Structure 1
Amino acid sequence: MTTGWDPRPPSAPVGGNEWLPVLDIAAPARQRRWTILLRWLLLLPQFIVVGLLSFAAFFVTVAGWFAALVLGRLPEGIYSFLASVLAYRTRVGAGAMLLVDRYPPFSFSAPGYPVQIEVRPTELNRLAVLFRLILMIPAVIIVALLQYGWAALSWVFWILGIVLGRLPAPVYAATAAVARYQLRTSAYVSLLTPAYPKRLFGDEPEPMQKAHSATRPLLLGTGAKVLLVVFLVLGLGGHTAQNTLVSYDGDEKAGSRPASQP
């Protein structure tokens, strides 16, 4: 994870491709069934820490937004803190999504952990910073749908993990794609990158491309891509049903109130 400030813009397009935040996860391996069984319970302390860090990161992001409007970039201290929180949250999220078996450390620095991110400080477009709250809406909606859809099927993945001692390859790849898109959206919202979240359905294979990890590049098969579509459809259906029920409940309560007397 790169956190120091470099006046050169390393995230400028290289070879016609815009640089995007990177998620590196070690190759999928067998996991201990008992840790899968108790995964979310074991991670409860980490969820509390992530909640506290996210609360603090919200206010730091607001301060960073004002600073970026003036400077055209995030100050180094703000950038380093937000990048560290994002790395911490990504490690915990990868464990919760059954991508890795190793327990994440209670530390910002975890060089030996099998989940790493790379974000590169660069200049920010002040106009894009000004309207970031509006620009991020489509990506945030997609993340919400993916999270809802994955959560709806998480009990199936959990059972598969306990039975097999690992996630099936398509499930692993689709889950990693969700985690990477979450990372890129969070980086964009936090002003850590000017690059808009993209490539949900994986990277295009390139000749002679060197693989750095299981997710770099992230190459998805048909099964994984179908699962991502299923996540989106389930998320959309779930949110629609929830809004319908809330609206119906509100109408029922309104109809049950006695008419006001003149």
Structure 2
Amino acid sequence: MTEARWTGPRGADAGEWLPVLDIVEPARQRRLTVLVRLLLLIPHFIVLFFLYIAAFFTTIAGWFAALVLGRLPEPVFRFLAGYLGYQTRVGASAMLLIDRYPPFALTPPPDYPVQIELRPTELNRLAVFFRLILMIPAAVVSGLVTSGWWALSFIWWLITLILGRMPQPLFEASAATRRYEFRFDAYFMMLTPAYPKGFFGEEALSVPEQQPRSATRPLIMSGAGKALLILFLVVGVATNITTSATTDWSSDSTDGW
């Protein structure tokens, strides 16, 4: 699978094509790398900080270009796609979805267990103009489910450390969380005109039997996996309410003094 290719529009249905996140699920994970996973990823977090700054200003430039051209210029598309792929690989490693260390590269080797596919297409200028408004519902869902996962991350880390692997329902829910965030980011950066979809994965009956499968292409979720995904959302809501209430209380206390 290619990381991102500038091949132009793919026909009338191109706008309905969703960005693909392909994760090869590891059979086992090394407990030592699970134990110190976030420490190992610190160099990547530093690199991502500087890449984020560059991607932020590139996205702004791309927004103006897309309004004029109806698409992202090829160099802008390639850089943003490379950044998003890198961010997604590091995020997948941080969420314990893979055991292989991410490469310091915008384009991974072909055998790396996390790959993305983005197809450049024409963009609706009106949708580009109102992007910040249109993305609000997806931003809320993505933010809540991600914060919910991280609020419970110690539990997922402990389970994976003890078992040497992620239980299948937990892998499904974590992969769905990572994939939705990836699709939201792709929409925000105008790498796709398709609004984020497939939060609960694909229906098994809609997938042709002869289609090759990876862990997330397609992402077929069990009932337990969907229940965990809902748990992430609920915990995300509770976490945000608690944080907001605590902030308000601290502010009131400070004003009282």
Q: Give the distance between the partners of 1:215 and 1:11, measured in 2 at CA.
A: 25
Structure 1 residue 195 displacement after superposition: 0.3
Gaps of 5+ in 2: none
User: Alpha-carbon deviation of 1:151?
Assistant: 0.6
User: CA offsets, 1:157-192, max 9 Å, x none?
Assistant: 111111110001111110000010011000000000
Give the equivalent residue in structure 1 for 2:246.
245
Q: Distance in 1 between matches of 2:26 and 2:240?
A: 32
Structure 1: 4+ residue segments shifted above 4 A: none
Structure 1 match to 2:126: 127
Counterpart in the other structure of 2:5? 4
* TM-score normalised according to structure 1 size: 0.93
Give secondary structure in 2 for the equivalent of 1:23: strand
Q: TM-score, normalised by structure 2?
A: 0.95
Secondary structure of the residue aligned to 1:116 is strand
- Provide the secondary structure at the position in 1 that maps to 2:139: helix
Does 2:187 match 1:193? no
Trace 1:1-262 onto structure 2 (pairs within 5 A).
1-7=2-8, 9-10=9-10, 12-13=12-13, 18-110=16-108, 111-205=110-204, 206-256=207-257
Cα shift at 1:246: 1.1
Aligned partner of 1:259 in structure 2 is none
Gap change, CA 1:213 and 1:247, over 3 Å in 2:
same
Please state whether the residue corresponding to 2:152 is helix, strand or coil.
helix
AA at the equivalent of 1:78: V
Over the matched positions of the two proteins, sequence identity in percent amounts to: 55
Q: Size of the alignment, in residue pairs?
A: 253
Structure 1 residue 2 displacement after superposition? 5.0
> Residue type of the partner of 1:234?
V
Structure having the higher Rg: 1
* Structure 1 residues without counterparts, runs of 5 or longer: 257-262
Tell me, in whole angstroms, the C-alpha distance in 1 between the residues paired with 2:3 and 2:89: 16
Q: RMSD across aligned C-alpha pairs, in angstroms?
A: 1.4
Structure-1 separation of matches of 2:4 and 2:225: 32
Question: How much has 1:152 moved relative to structure 2?
Answer: 1.3
Q: How far is the alpha carbon of 1:29 from its aligned partner?
A: 1.4
Structure 1 distance, partners of 2:193, 2:127, is 8
**Distance in 1 between the 2:11 and 2:187 partners?**
13
Residues 1:247 and 1:10: Cα distance change in structure 2 (over 3 Å): same
